[in-house]
Structure 1
Amino acid sequence: MGTEILPWVFTTGWASGINAYLVVLILGVAERFFHVAGVPAALGRTDVMVVAGILFLLEMFADKIPYLDSAWDTVHTVIRPLVGATIGYLIGHESSSLAAAFGAATGGISALAAHLVKAGTRAAVNTSPEPASNVLVSTGEDVTVAGVVSLAFLNPWVAASIALLILVTGAFLVLYLFKRLRRVRSRYADWGARHGLTSEPPSDATRIPARPPAPETEPLEQRRRPE
């Protein structure tokens, strides 16, 4: 694949950080039925595709249920980077051992970065009262992953650019959401304290000072005056 190794491993790594099983399934179908050049042959094996398909169906449902999606993300903190690194290694292995090591590192790091952005976004989305936002976000992630990975078959550099843009935008979005959430919680705590709904620890100005220790009683012999 030559110079196309970098955009390929970055794109597949980023996509693996969002939905690793969908990436494996798309690459497997591309290799098995469309014989796309550069896709590792191991991903087109029947057993790999069956397992990836089953796990993708499980993730498709778990990823749309509030708080269960965050638990699922926690379990996959290690799995998704490993899948991204493995795909990167297999892609680079077609060229040389050095390219395989480079592909594994790039795929693993990009997958970890995308996973952290996704997990942070889900943690913020779960604070919303309605479950519709989880369904919309999850569906949008799956469609985006499928579209960007499919675009990589036609133009890897364009797909990698889109993946990088989404990753950077998602990171800034997560920071914005958490700052806004912290601001809302602070306002709610102030409102609750004014209306007696929440209790706040007393400040230094209103804290009751500690009672000084009682003076020690002198022995009776020391208090007697000499005659």
Structure 2
Amino acid sequence: MSVLPLVFTSGWASGINAYAVVLLFGVFGATGLTDEVPAPLQRTDVLIAAGLLFLCEAVADKIPYVDTVWDTVHTVIRPVSGAVVGALLAGQSGSLPDLAAGAVGGSTALVSHLVKAGTRMAVNTSPEPFSNIVLSTLEDLGVAGIITFALFHPVAAASIAATLLVAGVVTAVFLASRIRRFLRRRARGPAVSGPG
């Protein structure tokens, strides 16, 4: 069976939380729940580093504006992680050239990351912090769910990831236009009322 659906899904998830993807794959492989996980992702040092960075992201991602700085730094990290995980997955099965798998994983991670970062910028315009916490928690749960599902049902998981990616792009475009309108109104300043 082609490894492409698993690569695509891991790319989508890497764009949201790359450390969770590496950690989940590593734990599932190290505990023997699946033999689909390449050995480099199961190494103890990789698991420890991914676990610590996941904890950092879990905190940073829930704080308004800190999440935007975190996302900016990860504009390179998430796509590279998606590409590396994709190449490792393909190298494990040999059914897809490593380079092509890396391109699929990395490009999917980049689009997914841009959707996440854009959505977060829109959410940060809200005056309350709870929307960040809820959105971040939903993202973490979504990544955990889709990666777990992908290991056992890769084609169905890839279909879900593709649907979420398209929905995310549409949402980000919608939010971007709203943010631009908000910024234009703000730049013009408050409306001046006439004499009462």
- CA offset at residue 195 of structure 1? 3.8
User: Per the alignment, in what secondary structure is the counterpart of residue 64 of structure 1?
Assistant: coil
**What's the TM-score once normalised by structure 1's chain length?**
0.81
Q: Match for 1:148 among 140, 146, 155?
A: 146
* Counterparts in 2 of 1:27 and 1:181: CA distance versus 1, 3 Å: same
Which position in structure 2 is the counterpart of 1:164? 162
Unaligned 5+ runs, structure 1:
197-227
Q: Distance in 2 between matches of 1:6 and 1:79?
A: 21
Equivalences, count: 194
Q: Match for 1:38 among 36, 41, 44?
A: 36
Greater gyration radius:
1
* Counterparts in 2 of 1:98 and 1:152: CA distance versus 1, 3 Å: closer
Which position in structure 2 is the counterpart of 1:25? 23
Does structure 1 retain, via aligned residues, the 8 Å contact 2:20–2:144? Answer: yes
- CA offset at residue 66 of structure 1? 0.5
Q: Distance in 1 between matches of 2:31 and 2:54?
A: 19
For residues 142-187 of structure 1, give each alpha carbon's deviation from its aligned partner in whole angstroms, at most 9, with x where no partner exists: 0000001100112101100111111110111111112223334445
Correspondences of 1:93-108 after superposition (within 5 Å): 93-96=91-94, 99-108=97-106
Aligned-residue sequence identity (percent) comes to 54
Q: Distance in 2 between matches of 1:78 and 1:191?
A: 36
Amino acid in structure 1 at the alignment position of 2:134: L
Aligned residues: CA RMSD = 1.8
Q: Which has the higher helix share?
A: 2
Report which structure shows greater RCO (CA 8 Å, sep ≥6).
2
Q: Match for 2:173 among 172, 175, 179?
A: 175
Does structure 1 retain, via aligned residues, the 8 Å contact 2:24–2:144? Answer: yes
Q: Distance in 2 between matches of 1:82 and 1:186?
A: 35
Correspondences of 1:46-195 after superposition (within 5 Å): 46-96=44-94, 99-187=97-185, 192-195=190-193
Q: Distance in 2 between matches of 1:92 and 1:76?
A: 24
Unaligned 5+ runs, structure 2:
none
User: Per the alignment, in what secondary structure is the counterpart of residue 11 of structure 2?
Assistant: helix
Amino acid in structure 1 at the alignment position of 2:94: S
Q: Distance in 2 between matches of 1:190 and 1:49?
A: 51
**What's the TM-score once normalised by structure 2's chain length?**
0.93
User: Per the alignment, in what secondary structure is the counterpart of residue 125 of structure 2?
Assistant: coil
Q: Distance in 1 between matches of 2:47 and 2:26?
A: 6
Q: Distance in 2 between matches of 1:144 and 1:108?
A: 19
